[in-house]
Amino acid sequence: MAEQTESKSRNLLRRLKDTLAEDTAGQARLDQVVGLIASSMQTEVCSIYLFRDAETLELCATEGLNPEAVHQTRMKLGEGLVGRAARDGRVVNEADAPNARGFRYMPETGEEVFPSFCGVPITRLGDKLGVLVVQSREARAFSEDEVYALEVVAMVLAEMTELGAFVGEGEALRARHTNPMLFRGGVGQEGVAEGHVWLHEPRVVVTNPVADDPVAETERLRNAIDQLRVSVDDMLKSVGQDPIDKEQREVLEAFRMFANSRSWLKRMEEDIAAGLSAEAAVEKEQSAARARLGESSDAYLRERLQDLDDLSNRLLRILTGQGNDTGAGRPENAILVARNIGPGELLDYGRGELKGIVLEQGSVGSHAAIVARAWAVPLIVHAGGQITSEALNGDHIMVDGDQGIVHLRPDETVVSAFRDKIAMQAKAQERYAGLRELPAESKDGCKIELHMNAGLIAELPSMESSGAEGVGLFRTELQFLARNSVPKRSELAAIYSRVLDAAGGRRVVFRTLDIGSDKVLPYMKREDEPNPALGWRAIRVGLDKVGVMRMQLQALIRAANGRPLTVMFPFVAQFEEFKAARQHLLDEIERERKLGHVLPEKVEIGTMLETPSIAFAPRQFFEMADFISIGGNDLKQFFFAADRENERVRRRYDTLNVSFLTFIAQIVRRCDETNTPVSFCGEDAGRPIEAMCFAAMGLRSLSMRPASVGPVKHLIRRVDLGEARKVIDRACNSGVQSVRGDVMEWLRGEAQ
């Protein structure tokens, strides 16, 4: 870029900086800005459109168009050339705008005499704020240098919009981060919570987007990048040399490649030469990378974008001195808000410190969800609308984990209704506490065993308070997920021993390592699989990486130390897999015997039934298994071919669907034929209506989160399961798709 163009750009930004520094009201400042840009760019028109809401753009200031159109002209996202620039996040540069694709004529503006059009998105780290537009009477396309200058100006406008520089009395110019907002996402963990936002990674605020001395800014940038490179090198030095650490090293090498990218540095230096500060140049390139790669369907490119995002944030924190610890105290009743979070980082917050968790990414089966369930705090995943950009530390927030809804800065009407819901749930829990010592026995004398799911030692005290009779599922992967390297056998043995101690003699079912799909170890190379849920995971990983499986089985045997041991293998799809895994455990017991170690008093070896295929295994499978646990979460998604992460399809299929209940009854019947104990484990086991129907279909053991034990026990004690089975059978024979309607009608009659 020519020095003359750079000087012109710097001159424009300097004048902008002076204008923004004046003590002027928001609208007046906007009016000055459009006049200044039109003059500097030598165009007859300059306009700024800002978002009124997530879908509507409004003309907020103009030089050259009819001033009466300001705050009157609006368009939807994607509508017209302005809406197209906002929707696509790309520059729209047209020499003959009226004949361009998607042109929308707005007669109130008087723009018909200005055929040339250049619209530049005003964005900040993927957050769409508006569009900067210039137009002229001369029918021409704007040059690359002119477009670049406008992109630089748009970057400054984005920062100033974020800082509230254009806030005024006009309705469209209200301060950001003040309006009530609603976000919808997926339910990772049910429950409701009210509190205040605590950002996992507080946003870096760039208060100096314009700089007068490009030489000094370039020097600052280079020094910061040197620090960044040293920190990446230090991370590499901390990695060990074993095979799994080698895979982690490869990831960090890719990280270092970005940090040493000459093209990345060159682009930022060009931005500084045009008049931006070092911080603003980093953010401009970060926003540009998000626009280029964010919509890519290529998983590799999306991962590289995440790498670049991470590096950019680290670089911004070095430049601004704004670390994760901003000095702000954690608010009362903190609700964590993050783009995503690893298990180790989440566990660092500690149980009892958080009232809820809201993630822009994540998944219902992720390690974050596992920890949230362990802590019994509501979790929302895939919260749309970029909540991390909208939320500020300390903002009032309400999380409805039952509906997958987040209310940020809610108004009084929402607050009142939400608090009523919390009060009702609290009263219900008090009622369930009185059932703690009573059995889950139906009116017709059927006793149902209710067990709890767990993954952390800290959860075990919930066994007493909930009335659970044991641990039907202890997830062992958290001890692997929360570390940066493979845990030692002695460490695992100590953890498992403490779990058995905390259980106080009650049965604990240890599920062996269930990784893969969306649960990827931080020190294990992610496999690029088109469908990870159906790929290399759980028992498949264990049978391929026998060393890891053997180490975990040895730890379990030693933890038992003469006590009963119950081991369950996950995701078994065929008889041979169970036989192989079972033999590994028997071999390790024999090895421990030869070493003279204390053996378990007795050993139960079972499996989860999560794939339809294993339900049709030979009779010998059911005879060999000491017990079977139906893994409802995975089984349901495979049975209906509906990904439980996909909101568009998973809600189409009811757990009480006739086909699914018939399948459950078939599994129960096969287990009864061989006297194999069978239970149901999963989210549905903790939903009272579903749990009652499972019990009516013959299941006598259910495993759920501790908070669900009371509600499930309460309903089972109120009904006759024999009568419930008759209702279900009649509904099945009637040809309905789901028995839910008939069951609910019967229950309403029972309650009268």
Report, as residue numbers or ranges, the catalytic residues.
367, 681
Structure tokens that stand for 210 in this block = 């314009």
Contact 382, 407 (CB under 8 A): no
CA distances for 605 relative to 553, 608, 701, angstroms: 12, 11, 17
> Strand 56-63 to strand 74-76: parallel, antiparallel, or no bridges (unpaired)?
antiparallel
Q: What are the start-end ranges of the E strands in 319-415?
A: 334-338, 356-359, 379-381, 396-400, 405-408
Phi, psi of 494 (to 5 degrees): -65, -40
Contact 611, 538 (CB under 8 A): no
Whose tokens are 């692997």? That residue is 480
**592-600: long-range contacts (C-beta < 8 A, 24 or more apart)?**
592/554, 592/557, 592/558, 597/557, 597/558, 598/561, 598/562, 599/557, 599/560, 599/562, 600/557, 600/560, 600/562, 600/563, 600/564, 600/565
CA distance 575 to 553: 20
CA dihedral 347→351→352→357, nearest 10 degrees, is 50
CA distance 631 to 628: 9
The Cα diameter of the chain in Å comes to 94
CA distance 338 to 198: 9
Alpha helices in 238-298 (DSSP H): 243-259, 262-273, 278-293
Residues paired with 338 in a beta bridge: 359
CB neighbourhood size of 262 (10 A): 7
Structure tokens that stand for 620 in this block = 């010998």
SS3 58: strand
CA distance 553 to 513: 10
* DSSP tag of 294: T
Structure tokens that stand for 594 in this block = 């030869």
Of 83, 171, 167, 76, the closest CA to residue 133 belongs to 83
CA distance 76 to 84: 9
Instruction: Please report the DSSP string for 482-537 in residue order.
Output: TSSSPPPHHHHHHHHHHHHHHHTTS-EEEEPP--BTTB--TTSPPP--S-GGGSS-
The residue type at 468: A
Indicate the helix (H) or strand (E) that contains 601.
none
Whose tokens are 């537009």? That residue is 133
Structure tokens that stand for 124 in this block = 């900040």
Residues paired with 704 in a beta bridge: 452
